[in-house]
Amino acid sequence: MDQRHWNMQTNLTMLTDFYELTMGNGYLDHGMKDTIATFDLFFRSVPESGGYAVMAGVEQMVDYLQDLEFTEENIEWLRNLNIFSEEYLDYLRHFKFECDVWCIPEGTPIFPREPIVKVRGPLPQAQMIETMLLVTINHQSLIATKSSRIVRAAKGKTILEFGARRAQGYDASVLGARAAYIAGVDGTSCTIASEQFNIPALGTMAHSWVQAFDSEYEAFVAYANTFPSSTVLLVDTYNTLKSGVPNAIRTAKEVLIPNGHRLKGIRIDSGDLTYLSQKARAMLDEAGLEDCRITVSNSIDEHVIVDLLNQGAKIDSFGVGERLITSRAEPVFGGVYKLCSIEKDGVEYPKMKISDNPDKVTNPANKELWRFYDNKTGDALADLITLHDEEIDTSKPYTLFDPLHTWKRKTVENYSVRRLLEPVFVKGKCVYQPRDIEEIRVYHQKEMKTLWDSFKRFDFPQIYYVDLSQKLWDLRDRLLRENIAKI
């Protein structure tokens, strides 16, 4: 099964904000149908004041762009609004995507204000795809970022994604599970995500299974007889330590072990997880079940995991649900899509947004993004945004400077650079090579190792610098001054 084609049976071309279409009609009216524009997709801050985010959603973005097509039903619906010109409706009827698109590979650590997707092409086309690009990249990058935090908190212990029933809709459940797996989560309870993306499916029983039998022990025995090689028992339906764990031990000794099987694990879903896991571990070990794993669930996130481990909890794996799949602490990834250049008569004119809010001032022009690495350690040093035609000579020292506090400068030597924006469409033709989800997952793990631990702290992480080249900074400064002078 093609892992990239989740829910693409539905034509998503109309998944766009209405003003994208009204602007498109206006561009045609004013002779701008073939005007070449460049847009950047970037985000302004890392969720939860973190030190980094994780790029995700590229495969679904590619699917969307490959399938752009307005149906006759779409055209007729738009016509009945009595807003759009017949010329524009005919343009949509014969719509053919012709833009160039670049993006940062999935699984890459990303940082505020750098272009993570760049689109260049006919203005009405580049404008129209804004909404779908944002919802796709924003959602999966949000969940991948949250999942990466949770995985790091667990320090190698297993993380199970249990959030399907609490996700904001079924797309969010399935694609959220995908993003979580890319970021290091070990498996999912979402069966369709497992089927679609080859993510390990994990899960045992609910409290209703235990309640459906006359006794807890009978419920455990029934489950063990049905799944003898993978028995994990939920032990907190009635009383974890007085009933659940003793009945799990009894099931192991009376049913599983005599038939050549071992109790794989128990799950605790309520109560003081540190205390209960410690007591349960002691009881299991005393019964000779040292290999029985303890899984816990119940409103867990990275902060809870850190506390549990610091308190000495005897936990082997964590089932993480709503706080992962909704990124509950900060459920918005603030990606935006902004125009940065317009081409007229073969000449490219940089554009920038100037706002009373300094954080909303954008970086102008068609740009390139580079990551600097220390050749001795392999560590990432900083990212650099340049004009698109700039090159970096790694045989010479390069001076990086903070674009806001320009006196903060660092000259690097013995370094290498990497272009982060990779082409995925050229003149509307897809050149993207699909990657297996396992490949993306391994790539993410490798990329995370290039970041200093200080960037990964949950509280007050060190700021990873995203700098501007001198030429881009000069252009930005000049445009700011020119526009301010006009006010």
Alpha-carbon distance of 458 to 51, in angstroms, equals 8
The overall longest dimension of the chain from CA atoms, in Å, is 86
Q: What is the mean pLDDT of residues 248-272?
A: 98
pLDDT band at residue 337 under the 50/70/90 scheme: very high
Alpha-carbon distance of 309 to 307, in angstroms, equals 6
- Written out in words, the top-level CATH class of the domain with range 18-143+331-486 is alpha beta
pLDDT tens digits, residue range 58-70? 999 999 999 999 9
The chain-wide mean pLDDT, for the chain, equals 95
pLDDT band at residue 357 under the 50/70/90 scheme: confident
Ordered by start, the domain boundaries in the chain are 18-143+331-486, 149-325
Q: What is the mean pLDDT of residues 163-169?
A: 94
Q: Is the pLDDT of residue 409 over 70?
A: yes
Return the pLDDT at 2: 47
Return the pLDDT at 9: 55
Q: Degrees (nearest 5) of the Cα angle 374, 378, 383?
A: 60
Return the pLDDT at 304: 97
Given strand 367-374, what is the order of strands in its sheet?
Answer: 415-419, 367-374, 380-387, 466-468
Contact 69, 13 (CB under 8 A): yes
Q: Is the pLDDT of residue 399 over 90?
A: yes
Q: Is the pLDDT of residue 484 over 80?
A: no
Q: Is the pLDDT of residue 417 over 50?
A: yes
pLDDT tens digits, residue range 82-123? 999 999 999 999 999 999 999 999 999 999 999 999 999 999
Return the pLDDT at 449: 98
Percentage of residues of the chain with pLDDT beyond 70: 98
Q: Degrees (nearest 5) of the Cα angle 60, 163, 191?
A: 65
Look at the chain and count its residues: 487
Alpha-carbon distance of 472 to 129, in angstroms, equals 26
Question: Which H/E stretch holds residue 381?
Answer: strand 380-387
pLDDT band at residue 6 under the 50/70/90 scheme: very low
Q: Is the pLDDT of residue 259 over 90?
A: yes
- Asked if CATH classification 3.20.20.70 holds for the domain at 149-325, the reply, yes or no, is yes
Query: Strands 100-103 and 117-122: what pairing?
Result: antiparallel
pLDDT band at residue 487 under the 50/70/90 scheme: low
Return the pLDDT at 203: 87
pLDDT tens digits, residue range 42-58? 999 999 999 999 999 99
SS3 186: coil
Q: Which of 37-51, 162-176, 296-310, 352-366 has the lowest mean pLDDT?
A: 352-366
Q: What is the mean pLDDT of residues 180-196?
A: 97
pLDDT tens digits, residue range 303-334? 999 999 999 999 999 999 999 999 999 999 99
Return the pLDDT at 99: 98
Contact 107, 443 (CB under 8 A): yes
Return the pLDDT at 75: 97
Tokens at residue 63, please? Answer: 């699917």
Q: Is the pLDDT of residue 485 over 90?
A: no
Q: Is the pLDDT of residue 7 over 80?
A: no
Return the pLDDT at 327: 96
Percentage of residues of the chain with pLDDT beyond 90: 93
Which candidate, 239, 319, 325, places its Cα nearest to that of 279?
Answer: 239
Q: How far apart are the first and last CA of the chain?
A: 57
